[in-house]
Amino acid sequence: MNSLILRTAVPALAGLMLLFSIYVLLRGHNEPGGGFIGGLIGASAFAIYTIAEGLASARRALIVPPITIAGVGLFLAAISGIVSLLFGDAFLTGQWWFPAFNPDLKYFSSVVLFDIGVYLVVVGAISGIAFALEERE
């Protein structure tokens, strides 16, 4: 797209969208939101950046290929399920750890690990689709 206003506004808007997507991701395990919604917001940021700046610039901004991001996310989501099997619970049962080394940190959770995995799968898959559609034009 050849709009000066869009090319000027999109870098700041995409940065804000990515920041908001991380907020929604981290808020989601206690309240509405989470990995899927956060991932959609993050992928939308890359899609709008692709429209404004072009495909080559968006690929450089993403750094890692979208399929790699989705693969890492799928791996993290699977690991979060396997962790529960190690503790003798059913697959994908939430596990919480309370570290003694840092009293300010309330807990680590396999639920957050699963949400991060879903976030990465959605960002990778939707960005890959958006990039493929942009290549066709």
* Calpha distance 65→71 (Å, rounded): 10
Residue 108 in tokens: 């680590």
Which pTM was predicted?
0.86
pLDDT tens for residues 88-103? Answer: 888 888 877 776 666 6
Beta bridge partners of residue 109, listed in sequence order: 96
CA distance 4 to 64: 28
Q: State pLDDT tens for residues 59-82.
A: 999 999 999 999 999 999 999 889
